[in-house]
Amino acid sequence: MKWDLMCFFFFLYLEVEMAASATFTIGTTQTGRSLPQSNSFGLKINSQVNFKTFSGLKAMSSLRCESQSSFFGNETCAALRATFAPKAQKENQNLTRNVQPQASYKVAVLGAAGGIGQPLALLIKMSPLVSDLHLYDIANVKGVAADISHCNTPSKVLDFTGASELANCLKGVDVVVIPAGVPRKPGMTRDDLFNINAGIVRDLVTAVADNCPGAFIHVISNPVNSTVPIAAEILKQKGVYDPKKLFGVTTLDVVRANTFVAQKKNLRLIDVDVPVVGGHAGITILPLLSKTRPSANFTDEEIEALTVRIQNAGTEVVEAKAGAGSATLSMAYAAARFVESSLRALDGDADVYECSFVQSDLTDLPFFASRVKIGRKGVEALIPTDLQGLSEYEQKALEALKPELKASIEKGIAFAQKQTVSA
């Protein structure tokens, strides 16, 4: 049985009680086998759970295809695995001293009162790796923070409203997630958002540079193809740019690709891993179906239909919401997965791989989404193998996306270079 990242759904399906000691109780049921009750290592489970029913925040390792990523972190997952293996009880006791979730990272969400920000904040609150969750918005975020703070998971939740509180929000933060900005309305392209969101990202990244220049920065605000280059330029102007720590969040493209491919090919969703490269808008989103794991055969029609669906999945949601915004819940899920992966990497997990839009030399473009290995200091390696041996369809699509992606990157750089940011 695979155990990758199923733990996210523990929190959605199960009642979780996490005391300050990081002891927690899982107490709702799904059909399946009975779990032993044990509190010997701070993990008390008193329910019946069938883990086959769970899937979750899965970032399959490109290299070994067996990463273990979850809101609990590797050690806790190992503990869970041991718990459910009847013969492993002794081992559990030995693990006791090692598997207490380490709630030691500070995460800030900028734009936390929004459609993405709220569920994202809730999901981050579930992570035992987080000690402090800082919620910032120009709109009143007190209610969101008060609400989320009642969840009995370890992290302390603080609210920060308005520009005057931004610096305090960011002090000492390890990971900054930026979903602030305007979402797409029907008929709008991501580039239509540019003028509003470019300024928002500029201002927020300026504050990050001033207050937590060493933090991982996750940019969600669209158009990511431009907002990431904007962030890079601002950080350069401030003299604190570390390309290894600046990430455009493209995880939703991977999540969608995995879901749609699993549906189409009738595969177990938890096993499916489709790398998505390029950028994060329209044709710049390039799912590499030929690299699907487990390997699957697609007809030309299926490749075309799946590729187009993955590229336009955002529009599918925008149109279904009919004026009430863009993807928020699936986006929060995807962003939470990326935060969790970053926290695991910061925590020393040596097996963290995610697709992200980052500074890159894999192509002739200065930024490019690909699978990357994330470590304590950020991007440790760009993974070139996904781009090798592409199908003819993918090779053509890759060449076709480059001019559009290049233009979006240059638009962002030009915007940022017109700004005067005090060093």
Positive or negative: CA dihedral 255, 174, 410, 418: positive
DSSP assignment letter at 317: H
Virtual CA dihedral for 405, 411, 412, 415, nearest 10 degrees?
180
Of 197 and 307, which CB lies nearer to ligand NAD in the complex structure?
Answer: 197
What are the phi and psi torsion angles at 292 (to 5°)?
-60, 135
Residue written as tokens 């999540």? 255
Considering the complex, what minimum distance in angstroms separates the CB of residue 107 from ligand NAD? 15
Spatial CB neighbours of 112, under 8 Å, sequence gap ≥ 6: 118, 120, 121, 135, 136, 137, 141, 144, 145, 179
At residue 85, the 3 state secondary structure works out as: coil
Please identify the residue of the shown chain whose CB is closest to the bound ligand NAD: 114
Of 73 and 183, which CB lies nearer to ligand NAD in the complex structure?
Answer: 183
Of 113 and 270, which CB lies nearer to ligand NAD in the complex structure?
Answer: 113
Considering the complex, what minimum distance in angstroms separates the CB of residue 289 from ligand NAD? 20
At residue 123, the 3 state secondary structure works out as: helix
Strands (E), 214-344: 216-219, 246-248, 276-278, 285-287
CA distance 248 to 215: 14
Catalytic pick among 134, 150, 218, 280: 280
- Does 280 participate in catalysis according to the annotation? yes
Residue 188, amino acid = M
Considering the complex, what minimum distance in angstroms separates the CB of residue 189 from ligand NAD? 11
Considering the complex, what minimum distance in angstroms separates the CB of residue 180 from ligand NAD? 3
Spatial CB neighbours of 93, under 8 Å, sequence gap ≥ 6: 40, 41
CA distance 51 to 53: 5
Strands (E), 27-186: 43-45, 105-110, 130-137, 156-161, 175-178
Binding site for ligand NAD (CB under 6 A): 110-111, 113-117, 136-139, 179-184, 193, 197, 200, 203-204, 220-222, 224, 249, 252, 280, 325-328, 331
- Residues facing 246 on adjacent strands: 217
Considering the complex, what minimum distance in angstroms separates the CB of residue 185 from ligand NAD? 10
Of 12 and 163, which CB lies nearer to ligand NAD in the complex structure?
Answer: 163
Considering the complex, what minimum distance in angstroms separates the CB of residue 103 from ligand NAD? 25
CA-only gyration radius of the chain, Å: 21
Considering the complex, what minimum distance in angstroms separates the CB of residue 241 from ligand NAD? 21
* CB distance 79 to 146 below 8 Å: no
Residue written as tokens 């962003």? 335
Which residue, among 214, 227, 225, 147, has the nearest Cα to 180 in the 3D structure?
A: 227
* CB distance 408 to 281 below 8 Å: yes
Of 116 and 129, which CB lies nearer to ligand NAD in the complex structure?
Answer: 116
Of 200 and 234, which CB lies nearer to ligand NAD in the complex structure?
Answer: 200
Residues annotated catalytic, as ranges: 280
